[in-house]
Structure 1
Amino acid sequence: MSKVYVIGTCDTKEAELAYAKTLIEAQGVAAVLVDVGTREAGKAPDVTAAEVAAHHPQGAAAVLGLDDRGKAVAGMAQALARFLATRNDIGAVLGLGGSGNTALVTEGMRSLPIGTPKLMVSTVASGNVAPYVGPNDIAMMYSVVDVAGINAISRQVIGNAAHAAAGMAKWRVPAGAGDKPAIGMTMFGVTTACCTMVREALEAEHDVFTFHATGTGGQSMEKLADSGLVKGLIDITTTEVPDLLMGGVFPCTEDRFGAVARTRLPYVGSVGACDMVNFGAKETVPAKYQGRNLYVHNPQVTLMRTTPEENKAIGEWIAAKLNRCEGQVRFLLPLGGVSAIDAPGKPFHDPEASAALFAAIRATLVQTPSRRLIELPHNINDPAFAAAVVQHYREIA
């Protein structure tokens, strides 16, 4: 039977955690109290802190008994993620705590697949929760008062959270009778035309999930891949890579393309919008870039044209990541331009810069029977390019 894992530090929050567990069990749902405290052992958890800490790659000694609390909490977070990966009965996860607990427990939550219910009652849930949530379906509930004893407010807030977790674990969402195989696709404003044509060509036979390539968008797509919720990836827009390398506001992480390697899902990719780095309003562009070719996309977004040197670095980075991917990979180069504004007469048309990008990918990508580079004379938004994307995806899916 699915169980609710109630997770927190029993050395400081045991009464609150036990209260939540009692309410969950009163709803007829099994609950498991997991201690992730790093100071003193809890009195009666179902899973002790030592048991969790033993899942750290370097053993419990890397977590418990340390003088440095920050290092201990970081170690316990890593151990918790590995511990949760060993469980096959998780119906939901409920966490309670302050900033340290929130950072610790949500790291474990982020390791779980999309769709597994995750609810964090936290003192920091009314602020910027992006570092805790990331591209995951973690629900954050503001505790209002500190999670420090049971009182008239905490009793209600924790009680609501416990009942919500119990309900999510007990009542699973049924699969849709008409669900089609899903595809993840990345899109940006300057690649919308291509993505729209691809989606329209495939949507009769597939659910096409489109992700805005704003850093979190790419992470979300890859999280769905890791969670087994898509059957393939059409990664037309890899603009998050320039932002990572050049300091833009929509960067990917170092794990970009990691899910492609781990899952070996059918993958068709391209270099959409790699002609630009994204910043906020024009006055926020770093001083070192103020003299560059800047294009005001809207009052809140300013685009900077990438140079030949930057494009070389972008191409090498992408190709090196793709070299780790052993599934069916097709990477398409649009030699006629990588975005709507990279075309003759458009503000980012720079053949030398684009040529550097293409040359770096050619030189770095190791082609195999399953990993192929396809070069096309079209702009990325031309109908012929979109048709090629669809054709190559159908061939490998």
Structure 2
Amino acid sequence: MSGRKAYVVGTADTKAAELCYVRDLIAAAGQETVLVNVGIQGGEEGVDVTAAEVAACHSEGPVAVFVNDRGQAVVEMAHALTAFLQGRDDIGGIIGLGGSGGSGIIAPAMQALPIGTPKVLVSTLASGDVSAYVGASDVNMFHPVTDVSGLNRISRRLLGNAAHAMAGMMQFKISVVQDDRPAVVLSMFGVTTAAVQMITEGLEDRFDCLVFHATGNGGRSMEQLISQGDVTGVLDITTTEICDLLTGGFLSAGEERLDSIAQTKLPYVGSCGALDMANFWGPETVPAQFKDRQFYHHNAQVTLMRATPEDSAQIGAWIGEKLNKCDGPVRFLLPLRGVSALDIQGGPFHNPAASNALFNALRATVVQTRDRQLVELDMHINDPAFAEAAISNFNEIYEQKGD
């Protein structure tokens, strides 16, 4: 035994039999367990940690959790569970069972645990939009098919699969490969893949390059990793999520995008990658007010909308204001001949007026200093020369970071 335990979490007032079933399977697979109750209405038989013990970890005490309003109780119990788990030093993995209420309690606490800690959430909401439950973390969601309400021929099989997945993740650990290279993060999208791959190839002899897909959750995950202090530099080549944020697209990373750069003051090379587009799903998901816009159908599931000059000016000003809050070394690259594979001479999103609006807004907004500079490049973002410029600028500010 490693001393690490599988935490089995759920509302024992309604799901005691299912929780005990999962616990027993994990224990039979050789892993120690801790059964944690987060139910609001009792049901403590067989649990190792009572709901009252969890609620006591709330910053305002149990009185904040045990209230008459169920919705508020769920929110406050989620806060209490997060605090409870962060105070434990023996978590080898966590598995939770829940419907909407239980998932709402368990998922935020899972998200707060370190990336790499095994996390399994068996939730009746797993077949829909799970972004709120997974967030920027590595929560694995299992769909139970039937409701998590009693043990039957289906639930036994699927809850058993989830239990064995948790036991397997705890038993078969991934060996940590010793890598003395400092880690840097990069942001990429399909239309900037060529640039980021060339940059990665040019850096990987010195750095461990962690590439994030700029799909909203990807940007949030990257920001979280930066904030945790796990990386030494950033090459944020693809800032497209900001376009989605400001135009109503589906792949926004939120208002907090770029805040980690200001917070950590890490060496930062950014650029305008894919700021020419906002993302929607199928054509039927595009809001009616955009019906006269220019679109490109990337595939059956993804529809891209070209940013207008007005959008682009707003995006440039927004980024500029964020960069002005960054006191660390910053180089923001402007690829004047196009910001994506679609924004190229003869390409479907080539729009000089929109591009100029973006670049002019950045020029007008960014307060340039010795450490914070715009770098204008008469080239396309996917040109080899752009990758060379990104690498050169990063090496320069990285070497100077200790000065």
Distance change >3 Å, CA 191–CA 161, structure 1 → 2: closer
Matches within 5 A, 1:210-229: 210-226=211-227
Partner of 2:401: none
Partner of 2:236: 235
Distance change >3 Å, CA 99–CA 280, structure 1 → 2: closer
Partner of 2:149: 148
Matches within 5 A, 1:24-43: 24-40=26-42, 42-43=44-45
Distance change >3 Å, CA 161–CA 212, structure 1 → 2: closer
Q: Shift in Å at residue 56 of structure 1?
A: 4.0
SS across alignment from 1:272: coil
SS across alignment from 1:104: helix
SS across alignment from 1:340: coil
For residues 154-182 of structure 1, the C-alpha deviation after alignment (integer angstroms, 9 at most, x for no partner) is 44544443343234234421112568544
Q: 1:6 aligns with which of 5, 8, 14?
A: 8
Distance change >3 Å, CA 14–CA 395, structure 1 → 2: farther
Q: Shift in Å at residue 305 of structure 1?
A: 2.6
Partner of 1:313: 314
Contact 1:9 1:35 in 2 (8 A): yes
Give distance in 2, aligned partners of 1:160 and 1:61.
37
Look up the equivalent residue of 1:237 and give its one-letter code: T
User: Is 1:63 aligned to residue 48 of structure 2?
Assistant: no
Contact 1:242 1:277 in 2 (8 A): yes
SS across alignment from 1:310: helix
Give distance in 1, aligned partners of 2:32 and 2:245.
44
User: Is 1:176 aligned to residue 141 of structure 2?
Assistant: no
Q: Shift in Å at residue 106 of structure 1?
A: 1.5
Q: Shift in Å at residue 5 of structure 1?
A: 1.6
Q: Return 99-108 or 42-51, whichever deviates more.
A: 42-51
Contact 1:185 1:209 in 2 (8 A): yes
Q: Shift in Å at residue 236 of structure 1?
A: 0.7
The number of equivalent residue pairs is 396
Distance change >3 Å, CA 121–CA 293, structure 1 → 2: closer
Give distance in 1, aligned partners of 2:17 and 2:283.
51
Give distance in 2, aligned partners of 1:35 and 1:122.
16
Look up the equivalent residue of 2:191 and give its one-letter code: V
CA-atom RMSD in angstroms = 3.1
Q: 1:16 aligns with which of 14, 18, 27?
A: 18
Give distance in 2, aligned partners of 1:212 and 1:242.
15
SS across alignment from 2:36: strand
Partner of 1:49: 51
Look up the equivalent residue of 2:23 and give its one-letter code: K
Q: Return 42-51 or 242-251, whichever deviates more.
A: 42-51
Give distance in 1, aligned partners of 2:349 and 2:286.
17
TM-score w.r.t. structure 2 length?
Answer: 0.84
Distance change >3 Å, CA 78–CA 340, structure 1 → 2: same
Give distance in 1, aligned partners of 2:299 and 2:149.
46
For residues 84-126 of structure 1, the C-alpha deviation after alignment (integer angstroms, 9 at most, x for no partner) is 3333322101111223212321221122222110012233334
User: Is 1:122 aligned to residue 123 of structure 2?
Assistant: yes
User: Is 1:271 aligned to residue 272 of structure 2?
Assistant: yes
Contact 1:91 1:170 in 2 (8 A): no
SS across alignment from 1:211: strand
Look up the equivalent residue of 1:278 and give its one-letter code: N
SS across alignment from 2:202: helix
Partner of 1:137: 138
Q: Percent identity?
A: 55
Distance change >3 Å, CA 280–CA 167, structure 1 → 2: closer
Distance change >3 Å, CA 191–CA 27, structure 1 → 2: closer
Partner of 2:385: 384
Q: Shift in Å at residue 128 of structure 1?
A: 4.3
Q: Shift in Å at residue 227 of structure 1?
A: 5.9
For residues 236-274 of structure 1, the C-alpha deviation after alignment (integer angstroms, 9 at most, x for no partner) is 111111112111232222332344445554332111111
SS across alignment from 1:108: helix
Give distance in 2, aligned partners of 1:182 and 1:334.
25
Partner of 1:194: 195
Distance change >3 Å, CA 14–CA 282, structure 1 → 2: closer
Matches within 5 A, 1:285-304: 285-298=286-299, 300-304=301-305
Partner of 2:75: 74
Distance change >3 Å, CA 194–CA 107, structure 1 → 2: same
Give distance in 2, aligned partners of 1:167 and 1:283.
41
Partner of 2:255: 254
Q: Shift in Å at residue 392 of structure 1?
A: 2.1
For residues 333-364 of structure 1, the C-alpha deviation after alignment (integer angstroms, 9 at most, x for no partner) is 22333223434454434444333323333444
Give distance in 2, aligned partners of 1:326 and 1:18.
52
Q: Return 161-170 or 70-79, whichever deviates more.
A: 161-170
Contact 1:110 1:133 in 2 (8 A): yes
For residues 127-174 of structure 1, the C-alpha deviation after alignment (integer angstroms, 9 at most, x for no partner) is 443432244322223334433344555445444433432342344211
TM-score w.r.t. structure 1 length?
Answer: 0.85
For residues 53-94 of structure 1, the C-alpha deviation after alignment (integer angstroms, 9 at most, x for no partner) is 3444554333222x3212221222233233333333221011
Q: Return 10-19 or 106-115, whichever deviates more.
A: 10-19
Q: Shift in Å at residue 301 of structure 1?
A: 4.0
Contact 1:243 1:277 in 2 (8 A): yes
For residues 261-302 of structure 1, the C-alpha deviation after alignment (integer angstroms, 9 at most, x for no partner) is 455543321111112223345565433222233344455544
Unaligned runs of 5+ in 2: 399-403
Contact 1:91 1:168 in 2 (8 A): no
Q: Return 272-281 or 176-185, whichever deviates more.
A: 176-185
Distance change >3 Å, CA 164–CA 363, structure 1 → 2: same
Give distance in 2, aligned partners of 1:15 and 1:283.
43
Distance change >3 Å, CA 60–CA 209, structure 1 → 2: same
Give distance in 1, aligned partners of 2:303 and 2:150.
48
